[in-house]
Amino acid sequence: MTLEQFQQATNTVFFGGDTQRIADLGWITLSVALVASLACSLIWSWAYSTFYGGRATGSNVHRCFPLIGIAVTAIFICVQFSLPLSLGLLGSLSIVRFRTPIKEPEEIGFILLVIASSLCCASFNGIFLVAILLAGAVALVLLKISPSFLMRRAGTGSLVVRMPAAGTHDALRGLSSLVETHLDRPAFDSVTTHGDETVLTWSFRRVTPEACAALDGGIRQSVPGASVGIYYSGQANA
């Protein structure tokens, strides 16, 4: 392989050409396309492990990014030069079902980025490949610094109060005052009466252990016989 052949193959991969048959590409061009796809997949794998590798519920999906990139590039290089082969591939994939659960929403985005990069390599569109890499890098930086319009800053919680149905009307105003005092941005969700029992629910955004204790004590003192349930899940800015 000469330097001129390598430069010609690189130009074909990144700027395309008018090739009509896969045999006209040559093994150098095919190798450069696969290597470029592998390099992009490794970049996305490194990005996933850097930005989201600390998640406890992740499935380490980034370990298969290099194989996905090479496979997608090879498949689409083959099918784009053969209409019967592409139709056969479409028919075979229509009966395949992947049932592996996605544990983190970020995994879907990274898998799509790997596929998009591989398609750019397979279609010899290097300019769009560079644009995808840059756009993905900008998106990851924005997610990392976590601006308020992209990440939720607080957690969510629910307050459930069970009390005798006979005293609901008289106690509701006092309960609303207690809830407004101890919870952050509470919103009254529902009231359900079943037999001799009434269930009241509120949703809120933030609470502290001290506020939980004070609210529980205040409700039990103002409404004898009431039971209180406070459920809260904080959201970390990771």
Q: What is the pTM of this model?
A: 0.56
β-bridge partners, 232 = 157
Tokens read off for 205? 């955004």
CB 74 within 8 A of CB 60: no
In 3-state terms, what secondary structure has residue 18?
Answer: coil
CB 226 within 8 A of CB 187: no
What string of pLDDT tens digits covers the 238 residues of the chain?
A: 565 655 665 666 565 655 555 556 667 778 888 888 999 999 999 998 888 766 545 567 888 899 999 988 888 887 776 666 666 666 656 555 656 565 667 788 898 999 999 988 888 888 888 899 999 999 888 877 765 555 444 457 889 998 888 877 778 878 888 888 888 888 888 888 888 888 989 988 888 888 888 988 888 888 888 889 888 876 544 3
Domain boundaries for CATH 3.30.70.240 within the chain: 156-233
Residue 93: φ, ψ to 5°: -70, -20
Q: Whose structure tokens read 């756009």? A: 135
Q: What is the DSSP letter of 200?
A: E
Gap between the Cα atoms of 62 and 60, Å rounded? 5
CATH class of 156-233: alpha beta
CB 118 within 8 A of CB 41: yes
